[in-house]
């Protein structure tokens, strides 16, 4: 089967939740099908990884879009979007040359299916000439933005986010019914989107883990040691880190003065940098290419995420390493965990702290929870298990 695969980014290298899922789905599909890839990049530096994609794809085309942040091109895009029906997240990916390339690929190749890998690219379904198309929803985007808006302190930013939220919700409601199937990562996400769109074309294909790569090791566990994994540039992770430092860490530190924590990930928040400068039990390690030894050496993996949606791959990876995880319900959303069995859950900061303390003082319990977490991942979230679901879902298009 010939598949036209549209992605907001080049998913190589597969670092970070979005890239990990997209790259692994691409790799799975390439085992049995021919892939024609169209993607986007914000900088020319990202183009160096095109050759890695060419190992999987028949053709690879990447189009540059303005880089997000404080620059003239992006600010111009933001101002123009104020008068557009589209949410900014969709408008910024509309590139005339990309539309022309998609039409060219469809005319030159017998494409059986168009795989659109993010809601932000859903407008391109209009170019597909009635060829069957699927949409992968990595998150419930309107819900993700709503949670961010609720947390935002600035009235100006909150007003802007509310405006974008209304447009995004309308866009999501309009676009999902245009696809043969909409793929979601969890039952929670399916229920949210089905309630919004009032359609029944949603299929659950969870996020996965490479269980041969992420596995328990003989690495010595450091007593009373915590670990956080995740870049802190975005609003969801930065909020999680600051929430942890303000509301959770002081309670744990008062109870267990020798407790330590490593923060792994790019762009630490200002609050984290300030705290680490005066509290030497806090270490900022930045981006680490291979986090496995550092996660394995931790007594407890923390995921105090309060916003966003979708399944958090960082949590799946930690569970695959048989780590005891303390998480919020948002961080564990979409994973079929049982509180007290294979994870500990808490949304209240004091309760979150108490559960960390409980595990640090009960190492046997932490080991048991970690072992059960590993079993859950092996049975339901390995890429081998998920590959079968992907092939089963896409088989119908091969017959057509």
What letter would DSSP give residue 67? P
Question: Cβ atoms within 10 A of the Cβ of 219, count?
Answer: 14
If one looks up domain 2-206+383-399 in CATH, what number appears? 3.40.50.2000
Burial class (CB in 10 A: 0-12, 13-18, 19+), 228: buried
Q: Are strands 133-137 and 113-116 parallel, antiparallel or unpaired?
A: parallel
Spatial distance between the Cα atoms of 25 and 17, rounded to a whole number of angstroms? 12
Q: What is the pLDDT of residue 309?
A: 61
At the fourth CATH level, the homologous superfamily of domain 225-380 is Glycogen Phosphorylase B; (3.40.50.2000)
Q: What is the pLDDT of residue 389?
A: 86
Closest by CA to 231, choosing from 301, 284, 299, is 284
In DSSP notation, 203-237 reads: EE----B-TTTS----PPPPTTEEEEES--SSHHH
Domain ranges of the chain: 2-206+383-399, 225-380
Instruction: Report, as ranges of residue numbers, the positions in the chain whose pLDDT lies below 70.
Output: 69-70, 309-311, 398-400
Q: What is the pLDDT of residue 399?
A: 54
Q: What is the pLDDT of residue 152?
A: 83
Closest by CA to 24, choosing from 394, 392, 387, is 387
Q: First and final CA of the chain: distance in angstroms?
A: 10
337-376 pLDDT, tens digit each: 999 999 999 999 999 999 999 999 999 999 999 999 999 9
In 3-state terms, what secondary structure has residue 122? helix
Asked whether the domain spanning 225-380 has the same topology as the one spanning 2-206+383-399, the reply is yes
Report residue 307 as tokens.
Answer: 């916003």
In DSSP notation, 292-350 reads: HHHHHT-SEEEE---S--S--HHHHHHHHTT--EEE-TTTTTTS---BTTTBEE--SHH
List 284's β-bridge partners, or say none: 263
Spatial distance between the Cα atoms of 60 and 57, rounded to a whole number of angstroms? 7
135-182 pLDDT, tens digit each: 999 888 999 899 889 888 889 989 999 999 999 999 999 999 999 999
Spatial distance between the Cα atoms of 287 and 263, rounded to a whole number of angstroms? 9
Closest by CA to 339, choosing from 294, 369, 302, is 369
Q: Are strands 300-303 and 202-204 parallel, antiparallel or unpaired?
A: unpaired
Residue 337 in contact with residue 343, Cβ under 8 Å? yes
Q: What is the pLDDT of residue 73?
A: 74
């Amino acid at each position: 089967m010939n598949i036209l695969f549209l992605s907001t980014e080049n998913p190589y290298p597969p670092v970070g939740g979005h890239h990990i899922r997209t790259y692994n789905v691409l790799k799975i599909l390439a085992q049995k099908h021919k892939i024609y890839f169209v993607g986007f990049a914000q900088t020319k530096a990202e183009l160096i990884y095109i050759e890695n994609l060419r190992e999987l794809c028949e053709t690879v085309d990447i189009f540059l879009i303005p880089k997000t942040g404080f620059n003239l091109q992006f600010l111009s895009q933001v101002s123009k979007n104020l008068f557009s029906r589209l949410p900014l997240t969709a408008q910024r990916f509309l590139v005339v040359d990309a539309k022309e390339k998609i039409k060219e690929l469809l005319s030159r190749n017998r494409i059986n299916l168009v795989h659109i890998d993010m809601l932000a690219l859903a407008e391109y379904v209009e170019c597909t000439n009635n060829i069957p198309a699927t949409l992968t929803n990595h998150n419930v985007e309107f819900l993700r933005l709503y949670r961010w808006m609720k947390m935002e302190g600035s009235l100006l930013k909150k007003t802007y986010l509310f405006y974008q939220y209304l447009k995004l919700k309308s866009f999501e409601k309009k676009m999902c019914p245009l696809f043969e199937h909409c793929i979601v990562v969890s039952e929670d996400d399916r229920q949210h989107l089905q309630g919004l769109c009032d359609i029944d074309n949603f299929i659950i294909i969870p996020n996965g883990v490479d269980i041969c790569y992420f596995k328990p090791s003989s690495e010595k566990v450091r007593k009373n040691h915590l670990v956080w994994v995740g870049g802190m540039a975005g609003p969801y992770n930065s909020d999680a880190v600051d929430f942890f430092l303000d509301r959770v860490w002081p309670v744990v530190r008062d109870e267990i003065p020798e407790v330590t924590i490593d923060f792994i990930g790019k762009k630490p928040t200002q609050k984290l940098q300030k705290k680490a400068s005066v509290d030497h039990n806090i270490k900022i390690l930045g981006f680490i290419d291979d986090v496995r030894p550092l996660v394995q050496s931790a007594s407890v993996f923390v995921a105090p995420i309060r916003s966003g949606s979708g399944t958090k791959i960082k949590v799946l990876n930690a569970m695959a390493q048989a780590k005891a995880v303390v998480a919020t319900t948002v961080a564990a959303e979409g994973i079929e965990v049982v509180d007290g069995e294979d994870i500990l859950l808490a949304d209240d900061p004091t309760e979150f702290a108490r559960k960390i303390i409980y595990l640090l003082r009960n190492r046997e319990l932490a080991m048991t929870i970690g072992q059960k977490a590993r079993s859950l991942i092996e049975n339901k979230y390995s890429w081998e298990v998920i590959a079968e679901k992907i092939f089963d879902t896409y088989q119908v298009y091969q017959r057509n």
